[in-house]
RNA sequence: GGGCGGUUAGUUCAGAGGUAGAACGCUUCGUUGACACCGAAGAGGUCAGUGGUUCGAUUCCACUAUCGCCCA
């Protein structure tokens, strides 16, 4: 078997994925005796294409899933797709329009048929794409929020809420998107600072020559004013409260009222009140029993206004109103003003506040349930900084407008009697009014907010409201992983839904991760043209490189990630490095059979003990990081360990025995290499499943694919501080010799003799014992102990040891002296701080014994090196 | 206005109450029997500023500056 010199992901990924799928390794079965690990996938939109945010989200989930599968837990990753009301409807609408077909001509039923057709055709795109990333979800259990059973769960939830009095239908001011033509919930509105104008308008007092000036950013809404409001304590206007003004342009008589909500600092301190088109004014109007007058309709045109303005768009009306006010002497002044304007999250159109009859979910008690779940730690949110944000949102929440004027979605199961006005909420179609017997019944035309249905995700996907075995075994799920941007939209709503309907938290832990941005930290957007397609990245660098990059850029704090090609390249190189290290090991396993090895009686050498110590230390660390949800640090540490220790040192050291004559020694090192490689592949597998699985298929004497193999156990007995410290010294000698050659400008491979002397017995022993390896790695011909400095040598100091290397030509020793002096200065600086600490009685009293001991040891070591350095510098003075 | 986060090597970012790290880039050397998607050796840092807590702060706290995000 001969492996290619370079890892080529294109030859591997599809093949491996197919192998996993055919082996049913992603499938989960109910196993009551086994501890489980369950993640429900945040369902991507059915219209969605895999973007980099999904790539991050899926990667993190897959890493946890794969680890836990290897830990032997019954692991379920339940995937799904969201029907995404507005988004999907507008996609299909647009597509039909391009063929000259209008939605309204088609009618509801025909249109929905078209959407379903579209869904069948394109709805699985993102699923297929996510497979390229290595997603190991149980695809048999794929759920769609409009599946028959799921839809039933949504209706069930609606009916239960209704029967409990938590859902009600009412006329409220809502956020209306004139383009999507639907109501929006509060969080679907995005506010942006915009430059506008502040208009000061005179409102003449009734039966008086006096007037009051109000300030507004939306003069056109004055046509719908039903009052003027001032703050009750505002001295300027106290005498006007209760009086009336005559509304300019309209001539309507409206009162001046006093209300705490008015900000005396804003404008003139007097504001116009337009109850039907401003949420604040709506509240004021309710408090003062003012009239409501709709002057803007659902396509943002003027209604119920005097002739000249009737039918104008709001923009046209503004121009006309301002013009007329100016001409008639009512406009006092116009100022530049920056204010925040609400936009539709979906289409970015400016949102129009309108009074409308909608269904609302009462939030007070549900928000309490959601809060309690987190306060009591039933649900743990990580990073913790989001907990406060979560509480704040729930504390200030307003009732949730859940109806949407769309066709695509879960149709509201409410029926209205056209004769007596009775409202009937029912899962089954209603034919006859139970109150008056009329058959003139109409179902509500609207559908539910998509988030209303996805709020049920953790249990509706498992069969709720039926008490299924799945629900019993898999609920509550273990971990939810999602971006912090949908903490309110989705996470909070799932928590109260779970608490409310299941009486149990939907997941024990929520891990919120950051968002992926471009290399300059900017949001990826079409207008900036900085969107990267993960599929392109996979094509170019491989799925493993993409996954590893995303994982290693993750932090416990859930910081946003700035992705760049440089980082992908580094990860791709890492994958290749692992490929080649493995290739080396596999090429050198000839004639090896682990069954011939007595594992209990291995003749371990210095570097074996060192490496096994490091390996077990890292294994332990890895598990700890994982428990802390710190995949980023785990990935970064793995990178350093595998590249910096396994490849750079252990593999190099292993060559001594592999290429030596001692068969027994060779077998031992083969065994350690074989074992270590397997362990490393397992540690890496969740991060880079494809390459590791491919490599593992070439590893001899393993019986199952990596995905199903057991994660290695930590063997504490191998962790050994002393051996690691000794290794640092030996490696230091090798580095020292290499850098002497570099100082001479010689290739590392130049064969030269070397000598050493030391004031430390342990160091002498180590050099003697590991002589062969030092020679090999430093490319030195010999390294002999000497009492005195030999002639014509260049030297370096490592701890208490001086290493001399023969000088093949004349060399200016000033460089050596400079190097020594620089090193001495560094040591002196450090010694100074350590000494002052150790002489400080308060330090000795208060610092922990470990810290003091560490300082003392470090002090000894530094003193040792210092003494040697000083003697050499003195020599050089002569 | 309220809240949150960032400010560390030329660049992008980790990190941790007790010796400041990585990647990329840069300099020098190198194709030695895994790998040039590589190896070896190096240069490069008042850890934004000011106070405080502490035996000890780049790390914890407060404030300031600055950039960014969320909410009103």
Residue A271 has pLDDT above 50, yes or no: yes
| A754/A769 Cα distance (integer angstroms) | 16
Residue A850 CA to B52 C1' — how many Å?
28
Residue A367 CA to B2 C1' — how many Å?
21
In terms of DSSP bridges, do strands A227-230 and A253-258 run parallel, antiparallel, or are they unpaired? parallel
Residue A857 CA to B53 C1' — how many Å?
29
Give the nucleotide with minimal C1' distance to the Cα of A845: B55
| A106/A99 Cα distance (integer angstroms) | 13
Element (H or E) spanning A771, and its range?
A: helix A771-778
Give the nucleotide with minimal C1' distance to the Cα of A542: B37
| A258/A270 Cα distance (integer angstroms) | 10
Q: Six-digit token pair at A467?
A: 């008490």
Residue A876 has pLDDT above 70, yes or no: no
Rg (CA), chain A: 37
* Region at A518 (left for phi over 0; alpha for psi -120 to 50; beta for the rest): beta
Give pLDDT tens digits for A56-100.
999 999 999 999 999 999 999 999 999 988 888 888 888 888 888
Give the nucleotide with minimal C1' distance to the Cα of A558: B5
Over residues A748-763, the mean pLDDT reads: 91
Give the nucleotide with minimal C1' distance to the Cα of A519: B12
Residue A712 CA to B11 C1' — how many Å?
39
Residue A523 has pLDDT above 80, yes or no: no
Give the nucleotide with minimal C1' distance to the Cα of A843: B55
Query: Could you give the percent of chain A with pLDDT greater than 70?
Result: 98
| Residue pair A223/A249 in contact by the 8 Å Cβ criterion | yes
Residue A867 CA to B49 C1' — how many Å?
41
Q: How confident is the model at residue A528 (pLDDT cuts 50, 70, 90)?
A: low
Q: Identify the pLDDT of residue A878.
A: 45
Residue A554 CA to B39 C1' — how many Å?
30
Residue ranges of E strands in A781-840 = 782-785, 793-798, 801-806
Give the nucleotide with minimal C1' distance to the Cα of A574: B37
Give the nucleotide with minimal C1' distance to the Cα of A779: B32
Apex CA A518: angle with CA A516 and CA A520, to 5°?
Answer: 125
Q: Identify the pLDDT of residue A877.
A: 61
In terms of DSSP bridges, do strands A561-562 and A516-517 run parallel, antiparallel, or are they unpaired? parallel
Phi, psi (rounded to 5 degrees) for A523? -60, 140
Give pLDDT tens digits for A618-629.
999 999 999 889
How far from chain centre, in Å, is Cα A110? Answer: 39
- The residue that leads in pLDDT, A850 or A607, is A607
Instruction: Give me the residue spans of the domains in chain A.
Output: 182-353, 543-719, 752-876
> Which residue pairs from A851-860 have beta carbons closer than 8 angstroms and sit at least 24 positions apart in sequence?
A858/A830, A858/A834, A859/A831, A859/A834, A859/A835
Apex CA A608: angle with CA A607 and CA A610, to 5°?
Answer: 60
| Residue pair A353/A183 in contact by the 8 Å Cβ criterion | no
Sign of the C-alpha dihedral computed for residues A116, A120, A125 and A131 taken in this order:
positive
Give pLDDT tens digits for A213-234.
888 888 888 888 888 888 888 8
| A302/A323 Cα distance (integer angstroms) | 16
Q: Which residue is nearest to nucleotide B24 (CA to C1')?
A: A566
Name which of A613, A608, A584, A581 is nearest A597 in CA terms: A608
Cβ within 8 Å of residue A315, ≥6 positions away: none
Residue A874 CA to B43 C1' — how many Å?
27
Residue A559 has pLDDT above 90, yes or no: no
CA atoms within 13 A on the CB side of A721: 1
DSSP code for A240: G
SS3 A303: coil
Q: How confident is the model at residue A564 (pLDDT cuts 50, 70, 90)?
A: confident
In terms of DSSP bridges, do strands A400-401 and A352-361 run parallel, antiparallel, or are they unpaired? antiparallel
Residue A101 CA to B19 C1' — how many Å?
73
Give pLDDT tens digits for A814-836.
888 888 888 888 888 888 888 88
SS3 A583: helix
DSSP string, A447-494: EE-HHHHHTTHHHHTTTTTS--HHHHHHPSEEEEEEEGGGIIIIIIHH
Q: Six-digit token pair at A871?
A: 């003697």
Apex CA A116: angle with CA A114 and CA A120, to 5°?
Answer: 120
Q: Which residue is nearest to nucleotide B12 (CA to C1')?
A: A519
The reply to whether A526 sits in an annotated binding site is: yes
DSSP code for A793: E
Q: Six-digit token pair at A582?
A: 């493995």
Nucleotides of B strand lying within 7 Å of any protein CB atom: 3-6, 12-16, 18-19, 22-24, 28-42, 54-56, 68-72
- What value of ipTM does the predicted structure carry? 0.95
SS3 A747: coil
- The residue that leads in pLDDT, A729 or A227, is A729
Select the highest-mean-pLDDT range: A143-152, A177-186, A253-262. Answer: A143-152
Q: How confident is the model at residue A771 (pLDDT cuts 50, 70, 90)?
A: very high
Residue A665 has pLDDT above 60, yes or no: yes
Residue A398 CA to B61 C1' — how many Å?
36
| A623/A776 Cα distance (integer angstroms) | 35
* Region at A421 (left for phi over 0; alpha for psi -120 to 50; beta for the rest): left
| A37/A126 Cα distance (integer angstroms) | 24
Residue A424 has pLDDT above 50, yes or no: yes
Q: Identify the pLDDT of residue A521.
A: 64
> In 3-state terms, chain A is what percent helix, strand and coil (to 5)?
50, 20, 35
pTM, entire model: 0.91
| A114/A52 Cα distance (integer angstroms) | 29
Phi, psi (rounded to 5 degrees) for A400? -95, 120
Distance separating the N- and C-terminal Cα atoms of chain A: 62
Fold of A182-353: Isoleucyl-tRNA Synthetase; domain 2 (3.90.740)
For domain A752-876, the CATH architecture is Orthogonal Bundle (1.10)
Mean pLDDT of chain A: 89
| Residue pair A627/A635 in contact by the 8 Å Cβ criterion | no
DSSP string, A57-123: HHHHHHHHHHHHHHTT-EEEEE-EEB--HHHHHHHHHHHHHHTT--HHHH-HHHHHHHHHHHHHHHT
How far from chain centre, in Å, is Cα A221? Answer: 42
The CATH number of the domain covering residues in A543-719: 1.10.730.10
| N residues, chain A | 878
Residue A1 has pLDDT above 60, yes or no: no
| A192/A617 Cα distance (integer angstroms) | 51
| A430/A443 Cα distance (integer angstroms) | 8
| Residue pair A518/A563 in contact by the 8 Å Cβ criterion | yes
How far from chain centre, in Å, is Cα A433? Answer: 50
Q: Identify the pLDDT of residue A519.
A: 63
Apex CA A843: angle with CA A837 and CA A847, to 5°?
Answer: 115
Name which of A114, A108, A131 is nearest A55 in CA terms: A131
């Amino acid at each position: 078997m001969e492996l290619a010199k370079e890892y080529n992901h294109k030859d591997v990924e599809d093949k491996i994925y197919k192998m996993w799928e055919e082996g049913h390794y992603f499938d989960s079965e109910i196993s009551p005796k086994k501890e489980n690990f369950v993640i429900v996938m945040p369902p991507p939109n059915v219209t969605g294409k895999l973007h980099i945010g999904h790539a991050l989200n899926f990667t993190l989930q897959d890493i946890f899933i794969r680890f836990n599968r290897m830990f032997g837990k019954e692991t379920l990753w339940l995937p799904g797709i969201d029907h995404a009301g507005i988004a999907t409807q507008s996609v299909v609408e647009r597509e039909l329009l391009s063929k000259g077909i209008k939605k309204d001509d088609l009618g509801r039923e025909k249109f929905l048929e078209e959407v379903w057709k579209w869904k069948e055709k394109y709805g699985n795109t993102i699923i297929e794409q996510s497979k390229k990333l290595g997603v190991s979800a149980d695809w048999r259990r794929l759920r769609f929020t409009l599946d028959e059973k799921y839809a039933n769960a949504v209706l069930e939830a609606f009916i239960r809420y209704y029967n409990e009095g938590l859902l009600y239908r009412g006329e409220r001011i809502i956020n209306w998107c004139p383009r999507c033509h639907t109501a929006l919930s509060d969080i679907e509105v995005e506010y942006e600072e915009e430059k506008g104008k502040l208009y000061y308008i005179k409102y003449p007092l009734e039966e008086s020559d006096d007037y009051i000036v109000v300030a507004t950013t939306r003069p056109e809404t004055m046509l719908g004013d039903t009052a003027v409001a001032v703050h009750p304590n505002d001295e300027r206007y106290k005498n006007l409260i209760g009086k009336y003004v005559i509304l300019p342009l309209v001539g309507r008589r409206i009162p001046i009222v006093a209300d705490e909500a008015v900000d005396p600092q804003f404008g003139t301190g007097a504001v116009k009140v337009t109850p039907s088109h401003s949420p604040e004014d709506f509240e004021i109007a309710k408090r003062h029993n003012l009239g409501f007058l709709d002057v803007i309709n659902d396509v943002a045109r003027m209604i119920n206004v005097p002739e000249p303005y009737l039918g104008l768009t709001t923009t046209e009306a503004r121009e006309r109103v301002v013009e007329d006010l100016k001409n008639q002497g009512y406009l006092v002044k116009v100022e530049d003003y920056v204010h925040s304007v609400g936009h539709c999250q979906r289409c970015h159109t400016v949102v129009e506040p309108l009074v409308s009859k909608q269904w609302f979910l009462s939030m007070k008690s549900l928000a309490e349930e959601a809060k309690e779940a987190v306060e009591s730690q039933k649900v743990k949110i990580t990073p913790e900084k989001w907990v406060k944000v979560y509480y704040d949102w729930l504390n200030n929440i307003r009732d949730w407008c859940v109806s949407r004027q769309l066709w695509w979605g879960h149709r509201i199961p409410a029926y209205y009697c056209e004769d007596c006005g009775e409202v009937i909420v029912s899962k089954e179609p209603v034919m006859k009014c139970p109150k008056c017997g009329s058959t003139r019944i109409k179902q509500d035309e609207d559908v539910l907010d998509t988030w209303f249905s996805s709020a049920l995700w953790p249990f509706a996907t498992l069969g709720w409201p039926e008490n299924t075995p799945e629900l019993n075994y898999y609920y509550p799920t273990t971990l939810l992983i999602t971006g912090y941007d949908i903490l309110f939209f989705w996470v909070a709503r799932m928590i109260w839904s779970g608490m409310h309907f299941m009486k149990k938290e939907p997941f024990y832990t929520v891990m919120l991760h950051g968002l992926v941005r471009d290399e300059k930290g900017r949001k990826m957007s079409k207008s900036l043209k900085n969107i990267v397609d993960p599929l392109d990245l996979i094509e170019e660098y491989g799925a493993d490189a993409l996954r590893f990059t995303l994982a290693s850029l993750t932090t416990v704090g859930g910081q946003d990630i700035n992705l760049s090609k440089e980082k992908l390249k580094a990860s791709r190189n890492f994958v290749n490095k692992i490929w080649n290290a493995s290739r080396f090991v596999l090429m050198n396993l000839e004639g090896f059979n682990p069954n011939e090895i007595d594992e209990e009686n291995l003749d371990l050498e210095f570097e074996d003990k060192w490496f096994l110590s490091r390996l077990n230390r890292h294994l332990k660390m890895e598990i700890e990081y994982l428990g802390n949800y710190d995949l980023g640090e785990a990935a970064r540490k793995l990178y350093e360990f595998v590249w910096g220790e396994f490849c750079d040192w252990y593999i190099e050291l292993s060559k001594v025995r592999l290429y030596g004559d001692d068969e027994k020694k060779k077998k031992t090192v083969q065994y350690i290499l074989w074992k270590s490689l397997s362990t490393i592949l397992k540690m890496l597998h969740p991060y880079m499943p494809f390459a590791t699985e491919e490599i593992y298929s070439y590893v001899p004497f393993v019986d199952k694919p990596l995905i199903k193999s057991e994660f290695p156990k930590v063997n504490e007995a191998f962790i050994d501080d002393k051996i690691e410290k000794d290794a640092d010294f030996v490696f230091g000698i090798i580095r020292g010799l290499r850098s002497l050659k570099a100082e001479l400008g010689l290739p590392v491979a130049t064969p030269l003799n070397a000598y050493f002397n030391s004031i430390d017995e342990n160091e002498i022993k180590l050099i003697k014992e590991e002589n062969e390896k030092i020679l090999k790695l430093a490319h030195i011909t010999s390294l002999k102990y000497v009492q005195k400095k030999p002639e014509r040598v260049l030297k370096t100091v490592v701890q208490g040891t001086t290493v001399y290397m023969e000088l093949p030509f004349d060399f200016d020793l000033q460089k050596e002296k400079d190097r020594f002096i620089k090193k001495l200065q560094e040591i002196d600086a450090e010694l100074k701080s350590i000494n002052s600490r150790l002489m400080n009685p308060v330090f000795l009293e208060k610092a922990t014994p470990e810290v003091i001991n560490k300082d003392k040891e470090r002090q000894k070591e530094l003193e040792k090196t210092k003494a040697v350095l000083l003697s050499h510098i003195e020599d050089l003075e002569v």
